[in-house]
Structure 1
Amino acid sequence: MLIRPAREDDLEAMERLTALSFHLVDQRLMPRELPVPEQRTAAAGANWIRRTRHTLRTDPGGCWVAEVDSEVVGCAISRVRELMWILSSFAVSPELQGRGIGAQLLAASMQHGEHCLRGMLAASADPAAVRRYRLAGFTLHPQMQVRGTVERSVLPVVDRVREGSAGDVDLLDSLDRRTRGAAHLSDHELLLAQYRLLVADRPSGQGYAYVDATGAPVLLAATTRRTAVDLAWEALAASSPEVPLEIAHLTDVNAWALDVAVAARLSIHQGGYLCLRGMKPPAPYIHHGSLL
């Protein structure tokens, strides 16, 4: 087995590996009351490759693969943003798990952030992975997710929330630093290309939310809970009564998001862990699954 830096010509193999690994974990751990998990779509796979190519260029020292007989059997993708180390993706071929490959990959990627004050990653509920993160010194904060279709009759009128653009990035980075302790920097380019951006910039509070095609906020940061609530409702207003949505990565310090979900008639479920080092769970904040 060889642990080596990842290259651009590894991207397709890493995408296939992570798609399969994550799907198998979802199949094994998904509660019965939820829909049967589907494997990553071609469009989602292309976005994964785009994000990882970006990380290879900004953080080559944080991207590693495990190779056996010239085949990629594991990968760890991490990035450093200011003084925060972020693990974006981590997987080992199912048939080779339990042989120490994951531990070596994680150790290699963590060296990239050895000077960082904080660390952050989103984990599934897979017991082996969670144990590895705890042994690496991370605190484990249970996450929740909400699902369903929004009850249209309860949607409130939200004032002074506007469409955002690349011209707002300085404001977004400032909000990132205030809520999670580090800016997203060039990662905003990826987010702007994939999602709709909502911005609130008013004397009573500032905030932003990236919203996917279903109307779910996939990343949200704000200076006040009231502003976060307004951004969440404005995002949900774009949802369809025919298409279910999912808002993942909700921690208990962001109970305001659960209140919005309950009012919108969405169901609440457990959903993995937010793993942190050197910091408390960000709030008001909903973190992105890989860009955090």
Structure 2
Amino acid sequence: MKYNARERCGAMESIAKKIQGLTLSKTEKKIADYILENEDVLGIKTATDLALEIGVSDTSIIRFLRTLGFSGYGEFKRIMSKRMLQQYNTSMLSSEKYIKTREFVDKKNVLVDVVKCAVDNMELTVQNTSIDTIRGIADCLIKSKRKYIFAFRGTACCADYMYRKLIYFLPDVFCCESADSSALERMVDITAGDCVLLYSFPRYSEINYSILELAKEHGAKVIVVTDKVTSPLAVYADYLLTAAINGLGFTNSYVVPMCLSEAILLLVSKHGSKNKNNRATKIDEYLDKHSLY
């Protein structure tokens, strides 16, 4: 069996189960034991490296990997590299990610690798996202009296993009990108007719919890854009969007959260209203007057 692009992220999880179902020779057992005990470094090892460390031939390793369903060592190494990146991206500091990822980022093909990673993120997100959720979020933003958008540090780019586009169509939109007391001060008067849109990914800032608790206490709707349904912030959400943010470098990739934001904005913009057209026209008029392009 060959792994397609959508199955690769979960490939390692099935290896142990496949191995358990095999009757292994002495050589195969040595290879299997090494793979299961050293999965964190497999993404930067060559077949020759493994052969020398295990004490078997390259051919034996490749033959065993094909038994597990891989087309060859090249595919196995690519999948293990991707798994390593995912682990580093969700649990390490930026400085730690930088030190680790520079070992296996291909300088010659870095652009192709980054694009492939973004495409994989998009495919995974599309599989797990319901259009009804997107519609529900757009409708919530349209109906809410005041819209509060929060995101901090690297994630702030998502809030800034959403804010700068949403104000073209809707009034009373507020954006906060400072993880300090001003975030809570800005929303202290939030009511049941308002909503909060929060972007947050690992590692989640502590202030996020206070923001969401305050919103829930006052009966406001909560929209959370995060990395997975098991995120500790998901329990607060009336509307939950998950976005794959795996990056090749020392930071998260925000391509998918931006795409989700664009989809929401398109639905908001299509919601018929003369006021929306007048609002956008008025903003453009003043921006043009002062050459603020």
Q: TM-score normalised by the shorter chain: which range applies? A: under 0.3
TM-score (norm 1): 0.22
Bigger fraction of residues in strand: 1
TM-score (norm 2): 0.22
The structure with the larger Rg is 2
Bigger fraction of residues in helix: 2
